Amino acid sequence: MNADGMRTSPPTLHDVARVAGVSLATASRVLNGSERKVAESFRERVEKAAEELGYTANASAQATARGTSAVIALLVADIADPYFGQIAAGVARGADAQGLIVTVAITERDADREAKILRALRGQRPRGVILAASRAETPDARTTAELAAFAPLGGRTVTFGEGGDRSIRIDNRGGAERLGREMAARGYRRAIAIGADEGVRTSDDRLAGFTAGFGDGGGRIERVYRGTFERESGAASMTTALAEGVDAGTLVFALSDVVAVGAMTAIRDGGRSVGDDIAVCGFDDVPVSRDVTPRLTTVRVPLADLGYEAFRATVDAEWEQPPLELEVVVRESTPGR
């Protein structure tokens, strides 16, 4: 403190120890929940001093001294996208419960950026990194290299899809296959797929699965429109499809709900209607699929739970992904024929 009693910099453990009249070590022991015993009288004095001074341990200093940080790094393509929002919520739930900090970085679906961020993240020496944004078919080489670089740092990497120390696996193919089968069962025979993201594993699996299931039921995918997993991309693809002609009774398989929502808007803007005219189904079951009209038929993926699992996977010594059955949810956007 200076003359007028105003503190000019935050109180340190040293200050607390001095005020309490104990050693640095003792102060540290009572304030950081170490195992070692401290006499009650000392403990009280330290706590009182810490309280008075408004002391909070400096996390960076603790991390340097301990050699481990308390951060979980999360990488997503776009935090405002409901798909990633759900995942992030799950990760945050787990981390908060353990007193860990979660940092968020945005890749903007750019592999280059992804690798750069991963590299920068290394400096954080995170306890774990969760990559929920990879866009590559086979994991991008740079991403793989950066991911590997976390090993010597002691941090565990968990990826949605392949590439990390541990993976969160979603049976995109199986889910899509069931969806395709169900759609065929409901009488659809012709379909177009939109939002298929070139070189993205998730997209390819979903497309392959749907094609198989729908085919088994006697249906056929007539055209595939490429794009990204973004709303605008879905709208653009649908607009193009409409321009090329879409017969009434056609089913649109959007490779993600977000894409489906964009497509629904485009269908209406094109003067058509969703449902009996053009049916639409998606994948993910993000919250918005229940809010659109007609409500969207889709495949439910418990994203928040998976985010939580991803968190567990970063911190638990033993971990195994719980079995996950993707459920087809039929709603009004596919009334059947």
Partner DNA sequence: TTGAAAGCGCTAACAC
Partner DNA sequence: GTGTTAGCGCTTTCAA
Question: Site residues (CB under 7 A) for DNA?
Answer: 9-10, 12-14, 22-26, 28-29, 31-32, 34, 36-39, 41-42, 55, 57-58, 61-62, 64-67
CB of 41 to its own copies, least distance (A): 26
Which CA distances in Å does 174 have to 52, 196, 206, 208, 330? 60, 17, 8, 9, 16
Residue 54, contacted partner among its own copies, DNA, none, CB below 5-8 A by kind: its own copies
CB of 42 to DNA, least distance (A): 4
**Residue 220 makes contact with its own copies by CB under 8 A:** no
* Cβ closest to its own copies, residue 48 vs residue 220: 48
How far apart are the C-alpha atoms of 139 and 231, rounded to whole Å? Answer: 24
How far apart are the C-alpha atoms of 102 and 94, rounded to whole Å? Answer: 10
**Residue 301 makes contact with its own copies by CB under 8 A:** no
How far apart are the C-alpha atoms of 181 and 49, rounded to whole Å? Answer: 68
**Residue 82 makes contact with its own copies by CB under 8 A:** yes
How far apart are the C-alpha atoms of 184 and 192, rounded to whole Å? Answer: 13
Amino acid in position 277: D
Among 24, 25, 39, 89, contact with its own copies (rule: CB under 8 A): 89
CB of 118 to DNA, least distance (A): 17
How far apart are the C-alpha atoms of 200 and 229, rounded to whole Å? Answer: 10
CB of 80 to its own copies, least distance (A): 4
């939002």: which residue's tokens?
195
Residue 26, contacted partner among its own copies, DNA, none, CB below 5-8 A by kind: DNA
Interacting span for its own copies (CB under 8 A) from 36-44, 121-129, 159-167, 311-319: 121-129
Among 1, 25, 39, 79, contact with its own copies (rule: CB under 8 A): 79
Half-sphere exposure (Cβ direction) of 147: Cα atoms closer than 13 Å: 25
Q: CB of 195 within 8 A of CB of 255?
A: yes
Which CA distances in Å does 279 have to 17, 225, 243, 267? 70, 16, 17, 10
Residue 223, contacted partner among its own copies, DNA, none, CB below 5-8 A by kind: none
* Cβ closest to DNA, residue 68 vs residue 240: 68
Among 14, 23, 48, 119, contact with its own copies (rule: CB under 8 A): 119
Number of residues that bind its own copies (CB under 8 A): 57
Q: CB of 182 within 8 A of CB of 328?
A: yes
